[in-house]
Structure 1
Amino acid sequence: MEKRMRLTAKCSKNKGKCVSEDYISNLSSETLVSILSQLTLREAVATSILGRRWRYLWTSITILDFNATKATDTIQSGPMYVKWVDRVLGQYEVSTINEFRKS
């Protein structure tokens, strides 16, 4: 069963507006990068749509997992895979990679 984050809402009685609190985005960048390091590269890149702070956060992870073995992935090997890896490394910001794997 998948766990989901529960958002709490603060409602202002005066203005009638509710604001949801996002506790995950309040974590430090180092903590978020550590969490993203546990994901495959595609999953980490997908988090970039969550907001401005998340947009390039994936480029700071030091473990690159180029997992392209799922049945839905069209990039499994060959020239397209090489282009994908080159494109990712071109956007990468850190100078040291601790782990580079193709699962």
Structure 2
Amino acid sequence: MIRLLFVLPLAPALLLGLNGTASAQMAGDPVLVKECSSCHLPFSAGWLTKASWRKIMDTLDNHFGDDARLPDERKAAVEAALMEGAGDAKTERPSPFLKSVKGDPAP
């Protein structure tokens, strides 16, 4: 219940994207849309840090219980797009949420 009370106020930010630039990038990046939305809603790359995306990409053989491995060329393209749009990547408009996270708690 306490978790729900914490997450509920964040829902609009998550739905709209914590990083406007990354959200727009995700919506317009055909590699991410094709590869990620074939199984689930694609998430904005800006929602996670580079370290978190690396962890996810390094464990695609058990991606939340599914085998989501990709051929090397496609995996490299997805990972490059995620690194470019990650919340801690240098962007014109960095994620206010990720800027508030101290240290490197990810993944």
Higher relative contact order (CA 8 A, sep 6+): 2
More strand by share: 1
Larger gyration radius, structure 1 or structure 2 = 1
Bin for the TM-score computed over the shorter chain? 0.3 to 0.5
TM-score normalized with structure 1 length: 0.37
